[in-house]
Structure 1
Amino acid sequence: MRIVVIISDTFRFDYVAAHGLKKVRTPHLDALASRSADFLRCYTGSFPTGPNRADVYLGQYWFPQADWSPLPTDRPTLAGRVGELGYVTQWIGDCPHLMKRNAYYHRGFTAAVQVRGQEGDVYFTRLNKPDPRIQPPGKTRRTRHLGMTLPNLQEWQNEPRWEEDRFCCRTADLACRWLQENYKATKWMLWLEFFDVHEPWDPPEYLWRHYDPDYQGPEMRHPNYGPADEYTPAELRNLAAHYAGEVTLLDKSVGRILRQIEDCGIADDTAIIFTADHGIALGEHNRTGKSNIHPRDDRCWLMFEELAHIPLLVYLPGMRPRKVRQYVQPVDTAATVLELAGAGPAPSDHGTSVLDLALGRARRWRRDWAISSAYLGRLGPRCSGLPVLYTGRWAYAPRTEKFGTGGLLFDMNADRSQTRNLLRKFPAVAKRLRGRMARLLEQIGTPAETVAQLMGEG
């Protein structure tokens, strides 16, 4: 069985048009969803990008153990374990953070190649060019490289002119070339890491204009990682339009890879997984971005729906498509890939293969919950990625946006936007979920003193 895994950075669950929640153009992902197992309750585990990949590459929840850090060299990786089964494994991607500063996220792959230049990855300077000043500095993240904000730096270094110049198109082109060079072999895994749809969002104008045709003003390509009310309503719509345009562009790139698999005649012997690491706030809860690094924002940021809920599509040749409503998380990806390759998970793994769910043969599923969280070692006011427990109809957080211990409780059946705190109305539910969350955190390796601090008991 050939295996293709596609991970898109910052892709929200509700931006797959087939899910019926947003008016967005994703025809190729919709087509894949129509013939796959579409997991409707996939929530990220460790947050953000690096910790998520540790979940996936190691098969263990990373947020109880460490923050964003190099992949440890003393633990077996998914790629290495698949390689031991006789597979050739290829990593192709444009995510800059997985390959730089000895991050080791490509460890274990037979071969790995990176498309350079995404988000602050300066590999070729153009000092004769002035700062293009695409987006006003007060409307974007304060981070600067070579004196430029990230959206301006991206334009300055890469200067994309055609659609094909964009990163997801270049990564897809490399993937298609690899497929053409390797399709005759039968035992390989192709792992694709698209940094899109991570910001800066620079789709061609004709794509973002589908979502904001009348906008007049500077392009909003990058969130401010702070309060959304720093934008005018028109600017906020344009920010979301740029995100949607990038989603559509990424969809076209995924479609090209799927077509190449068909053209090579290997679709009947290739398993395909499409997923993401986390989402992003586009105005919800008066936020844009993923974490609070804004000098004017004194709130904690929690793992709300727009950050935590991600797509997961699993295609197996000859399967019946279905909607799957059990809770799954990225730690399950490792176990799933290992089963596809002909092996089982290690005893230390936290995940479970989702293949039985995908094929409709699972009578019971071990998890009726999902926990999404950033590293818990730096709890306190203004921290980001505070954990949320999703289970059944409820979403529960033990801390509020002011790091208060009162907690938050939302009815996800009636309030997907998580704007009505029902903790006072259902105190018994909150108490039960509080205890359950504490037990689950300890079961996945969170130190007891950290759990006590999170719950306000330490």
Structure 2
Amino acid sequence: MNVIWIVADTFRRDHIGAYGNPTIRTPSLDTLAARSIRFEQHYSAGFPTMPTRADHQTGRWTMSFMGWEPLPAEVTTLADLLAGRGFHTAASVDTPYYLRDGMNYDRGFQSFFMNRGQDTLWSMIPQPGYHHESQDVRAAWRYESDHNAPRTFMTAMRWLEQHYKEDFFLYVDTWDPHEPWDAPSYYTELYRPEYNGELVLPLYGNWHDVPGYEEDTLRKGHATYCGEITMVDTWLGFLLKSVENMGLTDRTAVIFTTDHGFYFGEHGGLFGKMNSGKFPDGTLRPYGEPGSTWAHSPLFEELIHIPLLIRVPGLPVGVYQGLSSAIDVMPTVLDLMEMDIPDFVQGRSLAPGMRDGSISGREYVISSIPFANPGDPVHSVDNLLRPLSDYPVTTVTSGEWSLLYSPQEGVSELYHLTSDPRQLQNVIGTHGDIAREMHQFLVRFMRETQVPDRLLTPRLDLRI
């Protein structure tokens, strides 16, 4: 069995037709979903970008022992294991942090293609004394095929043309639809016909905290994001058509997922995935500005409830309702490729549940940036260190409930997902017993994964 694993960054689950969205155009993913097992309760683990990649490549709860950092020398990756068994391991990526500053996330891949041109959104803004290669790359764009996601999928297709007769594992990772949202304008015009070409940058905070900011700008930003979703879907479709044309369909599993979602005005006006600190007058401090910090950043469903589609030749299509985590995909790949799952892997293969939907999922899942305390400098959006001004939120999801936990008194929140899927009513005050039970899941998790005492001790109590 060959495996093609596709990751598209910042791809909201509720923006896919197969997951119930009636307006955003994702025909390629919808077709894939119709031939796959669709996972209904799949959640992020480490958050955001590179912690998720570490989870994907190791099958471990990396939030407990590493941050946004190079893969430790003693960590074994999925590509290491597969290459050791004779599979040709290949990756086509444009997420910019795979190699930057010695990150070494190419480990184990015998063929590794880094498509340049992506960078943080602040590199898109002209600044005195600062220039980045991505500005030059974008300046040279003339056609849709010049953009990052198309080039990443084309690189994967070209590799397949040369190696489709081999036993292989192909990992395709595009940073789109991550910002900056700059797909060709005709994609955005599908959602905003009057689009004027403006590049809208997210605020990483509440748009109400920016004097003079207009809601229409946020809506325009959302339209550009939707345009990128449809562009990614289009090129994913080209890749899947190539798989079909090469006769690979009956011997190749296909996986699609993401790392996290994004806020577009939900929960009081959030626009981003983390919240930057504020100036003394209460206005938002831009996260790219010197002296910026990360403030209280809740992990609601829009961020952590993510899509997972897995098409396996010979398995019936369907829906799996059990709870699963991002760390479960790596051992699933090993299982599908008929390899033993090493003892160090903490994820659980999803293959048994794909064959028998009655098999129960996890009791709970944990979603969090790597554990840290206020004052700790962290990489939470890019490769620049910024201190935490507040405890990072850890979300515990179990059954019908979601606990957004903070060690700080009065900050934790509890939501009943069945009756309140949009998480509009915090019920921790009336369901403290459930909140305490959910908190104990977190304490048990931290002890089992051997989180250091300096990080565990502040989290031993739930201060409602």
Alignment TM-score, normalising by the size of structure 2: 0.87
Which of the residues 149, 170, 181 maps onto 2:162? 181
Superposition RMSD on alpha carbons, in Å?
2.4
1:2 CA displacement: 1.1
In structure 1, the partner of 2:398 is 391
Shift of 1:115: 0.5
Match of 2:145 in 1: 164
Q: Distance in 2 between matches of 1:22 and 1:64?
A: 38
Q: 1:23 to 1:441 in 2, by over 3 A?
A: farther
Query: CA 1:233–1:290 in 2, change beyond 3 Å: closer, same or farther?
Result: same
Is 2:288 aligned against 1:306? no
Closer/same/farther in 2, CA of residues 336 and 107 from structure 1, 3 Å limit: same
After TM superposition, the structure 1 stretch with the greater mean CA deviation from structure 2, 424-433 or 172-181, is 424-433
Which residue identity lines up with residue 222 of structure 1 in the other structure?
A: L
Q: Does 1:212 align with 2:217?
A: no
Establish whether residue 227 from structure 1 lines up as the match of residue 225 from structure 2.
Answer: no
The one-character-per-residue Cα deviations of 1:45-79 (angstroms, maximum 9, x if unpaired) are: 00111111111111111111121000112221110
| Partner residue of 1:322 out of 312, 318, 321 | 318
Alpha-carbon displacement from aligned partner over 1:283-316 (angstroms, at most 9, x marks no partner): 1122111212353358500111111111110100
Q: Is the 8 A contact 1:281 1:306 kept in 2?
A: yes
**CA–CA separation in structure 2 for the residues paired with 1:362 and 1:38:** 14
Q: CA deviation at 1:395?
A: 0.4
Cα distance in structure 2, aligned partners of 1:114 and 1:418: 39
Looking at structure 2, the residues matched to 102 and 396 of structure 1 have their Cα atoms a distance apart, in angstroms, of 36
| 1:404 corresponds to which of 400, 404, 409 | 409
Any idea what SS the aligned residue of 1:25 has?
Answer: coil
Aligned partner of 1:133 in structure 2 is none
User: Which residue does 1:124 correspond to in 2?
Assistant: none
Instruction: State the AA in 2 paired with 1:293.
Output: S
Give yes or no for contact 2:277–2:295 (8 Å, CA) kept in 1: no
Task: Give 1:434 deviation, angstroms.
Answer: 1.6
- Secondary structure of the corresponding residue to residue 100 of structure 2: coil
Q: Which digits, 9 at most, give the CA deviation of each residue in 1:232-265, with x for residues without a partner?
A: 1211110110111000000001101000000101
Offset of residue 221 of structure 1: 3.1
Query: Residue 32 of structure 1 aligns with which residue?
Result: 32
- The answer as to whether partners of 2:255 and 2:311 remain within 8 angstroms in 1 is yes
CA contact (8 A) 2:64 2:370 kept: yes
Q: Deviations over 1:361-398 (max 9, x none)?
A: 66344x12111000112347644751111111110022
Deviation for aligned residue 1:330: 1.4
The 5-angstrom pairing of residues 86-165 of structure 1 reads 86-120=86-120, 147=128, 157-159=137-139, 160-165=141-146
Q: Please give the secondary structure, in 2, of the residue aligned with 1:5.
A: strand
Distance in 1 separating the partners of 2:430 and 2:15:
32
CA pair 383-106 structure 1, distance change in 2 beyond 3 A: farther
Aligned to 2:372: 377
Residue 358, structure 1, aligned to residue 358, structure 2: no
Whole-Å separation in 1 of the counterparts to 2:218 and 2:37: 34
Distance in 2, Cα, partners of 1:387 & 1:302: 8
AA at the equivalent of 2:45: G
- How far apart are 1:156 and its partner, in Å? 5.3
3-state SS, counterpart of residue 64 of structure 2 = coil
Task: Please give the alpha-carbon distance, in whole angstroms, between the structure 2 residues aligned to 1:439 and 1:423.
Answer: 20
Aligned to 2:271: 288
Structure 1 residue 254 corresponds to structure 2 residue 254: no
Instruction: Indicate the SS of the match to 2:109.
Output: coil
> Match of 1:333?
329
In structure 2, how many angstroms separate the alpha carbons of the residues matched to 1:77 and 1:315? 23
Shift of 1:155: 5.5
Mapped to 2, the partners of 1:106 and 1:142 lie a distance apart of 24
* Within-5 A mapping of 1:409-428: 409-428=414-433
Report the counterpart of residue 340 of structure 2 in structure 1.
344
Equivalent position amino acid for 2:158 in 1:
R
Paired with 1:251 and 1:384, the residues of 2 have a C-alpha distance of: 36
257, 265, 277: which one aligns with 1:275: 257
Identify which of 239, 245, 255 aligns with 2:221.
239
Kept in 2, the 8 Å contact 1:94–1:195? The answer is: yes
C-alpha distance in 1 between matches for 2:201 and 2:355? 40
Give 1:21 shift: 3.7
Q: What is the letter of the counterpart of residue 242 of structure 1?
A: T
Q: Deviations over 1:129-155 (max 9, x none)?
A: xxxxxxxxxxx86996754999x9855
Q: Distance in 2 between matches of 1:57 and 1:145?
A: 35
Count of residues in correspondence between the two structures: 433
Once residues 143 and 456 of structure 1 are traced to their aligned partners in structure 2, the CA distance between those partners, rounded to angstroms, is 43
CA gap 1:337/1:390 in 2 versus in 1, 3 angstroms: same
Distance across 2 between alignment mates of 1:343 and 1:209? 46
> Residue 396 of structure 1 contacts residue 410 of structure 1 at CA under 8 Å; is this kept in 2?
yes
Deviations 1:400-447 (A, max 9, x none): 8xx434521001112222221101121211122122221122223323
Q: Is the 8 A contact 1:345 1:352 kept in 2?
A: no
Could you give the per-residue CA deviations for residues 329-348 of structure 1, whole angstroms, max 9, x where no partner exists? 11111101111222122212
2:229 counterpart letter in structure 1:
V
